[in-house]
Amino acid sequence: MRSGLISLIEYIFPPRCAFCNEILEAGAPIYICEKCAEKIGYYNNCINYLNLPKELETYCDGMICVGRYSESLKDSLRRFKFKNKPSYYRAFGMLLALKVQNTIQLDDIDLIIPVPLHKNRQKQRGYNQAELVAKHASKQLKVPFADNVLVKISDSKSQSILSRNERFFNLEGLFYVNNAKTIINKNILLIDDIITTGSTVNQCSKVLKQAGAKSIIAGVIATTRNY
């Protein structure tokens, strides 16, 4: 019954490519057309490291990234994040799930946790894009999703307007772990949309490890870094 209802909805409101808005066939496994999928600057199926400045301690154990933050991937992510396009989570959640699946053994992941937004920022935007991607990736990978475990307790200046050095100190003390028993000795896939300096995922990884997490791998859609 449910699959039939979904098919009817997609027939009336056909899915569209999250990059070029082209109409896709009903039941499309990923909401990106073949032409746009081929244009993404994919990274290799490997774990990369943050390579933070020497004076900073690295808490994140590595990063899995779909592709380079440029051209169509950049444009689509900006619409997803800033232009009220929450439906794009299907495309990005599936892209990330496929990348994770092709990079590490799923048995090595115990929980999927999104990088949180402060409640004021989320109310303003209407959704947390990292949370939407994390939930969809969790469903595709069949790995448990842990909601409201990592919490941002205070709003901060937007990372995008700060210098590289300022970003590392802008988030200090802004995250905490709620219900720590959920993550003790767990291997966590920490989901965010974009990595630039790595300051956000590293700060989140810090508080998760202080609360007892075993390891943290960041899973992101795009990065400005060269690998």
Q: Per-residue confidence at 52, pLDDT binned at 50, 70, 90?
A: confident
Say yes or no to pLDDT of 223 above 90.
yes
- The helix (H) or strand (E) run that includes residue 188 is strand 187-195
The DSSP 8-state label assigned to residue 85 in this structure reads -
Mean pLDDT computed over 8-20: 74
Task: Name the band, by pLDDT with cuts 50, 70 and 90, for residue 29.
Answer: confident
Q: Judge whether 221 and 41 are in contact, CB under 8 Å.
A: no
Q: Are 181 and 211 in contact (CB under 8 A)?
A: no
The mean pLDDT of 23-33, rounded to a whole number, is 86
Q: With contact defined as beta carbons under 8 Å apart, do 216 and 175 qualify?
A: no
Quote the pLDDT of residue 3: 47
pTM of the entire predicted model: 0.89
Model confidence at 158: pLDDT above 90: no
Give the Cα separation of 22 and 14 in Å (integer).
Answer: 10
Q: What is the pLDDT of residue 4?
A: 45
Question: Of the candidates 117, 111, 144, 118, which has an alpha carbon nearest to the alpha carbon of residue 131?
Answer: 117
Over residues 102-155, the pLDDT tens digits come to 999 999 999 999 999 989 999 999 999 999 999 999 999 999 999 889 999 877
Domains along the chain? 1-39 (no CATH), 41-223 (3.40.50.2020)
CA atoms within 13 A on the CB side of 122: 15
Name, in order, each residue with C-beta under 8 angstroms of 116's C-beta and a sequence gap of 6 or more: 128, 130, 131, 150, 151, 152, 175
